[in-house]
Amino acid sequence: MLAFLLTLMLLLGIVIVLAYAERKVAAFMQDRMGPTEAGPYGSLQAVLDVLKLLQKEDIVPAAADKKLFKLAPILIFAAVFAGFAVIPFAPSIVPAGIGIGVFYLLAIISLDVVGLLMAGWGSNNKYAMLGAMRSVAQIVSYEIPAGLAILSAVMICQSLDFQEISYQQGALMNQFPGMEYDMNWLFGIRELGINTTTIGGITTWNIFRAPMLLVAFVIYFIASLAESNRAPFDIPEAESELVAGFHVEYSGFRFAVLFLAEYSMMVLVSLVAVVLFLGSWNTPLPNIGPVSLAYWTTGTVGELSGILWGVFWLLSKTFVLLFLQLQVRWTYPRLRVDQLMHLCWKVLTPIALGVVLLAGLWRLLMI
């Protein structure tokens, strides 16, 4: 229960910061000021928006399917929030350390699609239904390349446990027998006879341990934008076509829950990318000769130093990816439906299949 509350409070804090950051990033890219009045530099604007939504009238359309309409926001947020249960935040902190965490995550967030369809159908609104159908088609399609990219990382690491995958990407793996994988190819380090597991830092991240995982990371990042319904993959919420898409009939607290679910999905997919490809809670600083930067900036497992360093590095990398998502939204125009499906089925999926094949060959030949 405590882990649930702490995770929820951390998520709410990140979402509030992210909502404020999105306004400021958009304003900067469009040569505007953004929020300036509520608090210093408009920093309280996101908090006031939450309070405003909580005070608005909760309207349920008379012709709506009231049970589906009311249940949909709860299911959407619950499916996203449940995914955080298997994300390791530090060497000794993971809400639910199960051995099949990757499989669980892929299964549980698929329920998000059911909630979106319930919201569109239950609203009894043509715009909402069109938005829901678009969303289902998009998310189901982009789960294929995203899943294949994740599979390639799993094949290299030989584990479905997020925490074990995290340990494999840092100098701490030496403390656990049977986890010493030396798969670095960068700069011919392997050929020089240097064991990178003692160097740690960025040299042991998955994108450098196996070259095809860098391509897998790019595929996953693009697919994650579509999974989150973020621009340029935001056709389910296309304001110029569908008013607001599947949540057009929602107001007040229920709209706030849908808003929270969308931003929570952004955070979740970024956390998964960091854990699988970018070293998780491990430090990017390597050991250089007698200067043990990797050990100093990782801390000790089970102690406060290890927890603080782990949370710091994990959230720092996550915020970098979130910032990239915000930049992409305000840089590229919305894709048409045919362009979106072409990118998924004729570009990303074939490349992802090739990456999976290369990951299997790499595992067989290089280990």
- Give tens-digit pLDDT for 168-188: 888 776 554 444 444 444 434
The burial of 39, by beta-carbon neighbours within 10 Å (0-12 exposed, 13-18 middle, 19 or more buried), is given as middle
Residues contacting residue 35 through CB under 8 Å, at least 6 positions apart:
20, 23, 24, 27, 41, 42, 43, 45
Instruction: Average the pLDDT over 90-106 and give the result.
Output: 88
Instruction: Average the pLDDT over 252-276 and give the result.
Output: 93
Residue 73: phi, psi to the nearest 5?
A: -60, -35
Model confidence band, residue 344 (pLDDT cutoffs 50, 70, 90) = very high
- Give tens-digit pLDDT for 358-367: 999 998 887 5
User: Nearest CA to 267 among 230, 321, 310?
Assistant: 321
Taking a C-beta distance cutoff of 8 angstroms, is the pair 35, 24 a contact?
A: yes
pLDDT reported for residue 193: 42
pLDDT reported for residue 355: 97
- Give tens-digit pLDDT for 289-320: 788 888 888 877 777 888 899 999 999 999 99
Peptide bond connecting 95 to the previous residue in cis, omega within 30 degrees of 0: no
Residues contacting residue 186 through CB under 8 Å, at least 6 positions apart:
203, 208
Residue 291: phi, psi to the nearest 5?
A: -90, 100
Dihedral of CA 144/152/328/108: which sign? positive
Dist CA 224 CA 227 (whole Å): 5
pLDDT reported for residue 326: 92
Q: At residue 241, does pLDDT exceed 70?
A: no
Highest mean pLDDT among 58-62, 187-191, 352-356: 352-356
Element (H, E) at 300: none
Angle at 214 between CA 181 and CA 159, to 5 degrees: 40
Angle at 114 between CA 120 and CA 326, to 5 degrees: 80
User: Nearest CA to 122 among 81, 78, 73, 77?
Assistant: 73
pLDDT reported for residue 195: 52
Q: At residue 59, does pLDDT exceed 80?
A: yes
Element (H, E) at 100: none
Model confidence band, residue 325 (pLDDT cutoffs 50, 70, 90) = very high
Task: Point out the least confidently predicted range of 73-77, 113-117, 263-267, 296-300.
Answer: 296-300
Q: Using only the alpha carbons of the chain, give its radius of gyration.
A: 21
Dist CA 91 CA 171 (whole Å): 12
pLDDT reported for residue 162: 95
Residue 93 in 3-state DSSP? strand
Highest mean pLDDT among 105-114, 198-207, 358-367: 105-114
Who has greater pLDDT, 1 or 107? Answer: 107
Model confidence band, residue 1 (pLDDT cutoffs 50, 70, 90) = low
Task: Point out the least confidently predicted range of 108-122, 187-201, 267-281.
Answer: 187-201
Instruction: Average the pLDDT over 189-217 and give the result.
Output: 76
Taking a C-beta distance cutoff of 8 angstroms, is the pair 194, 128 a contact?
A: no
Q: Is 158 left (phi over 0), alpha (psi -120 to 50) or beta?
A: left
Q: At residue 35, does pLDDT exceed 80?
A: yes
Whole-angstrom CA distances from 347 to 127, 141, 142, 145 are: 30, 12, 11, 9
Task: Give the distance from CA 30 to its chain's centroid.
Answer: 26
Instruction: Average the pLDDT over 20-34 and give the result.
Output: 90
pLDDT reported for residue 244: 73
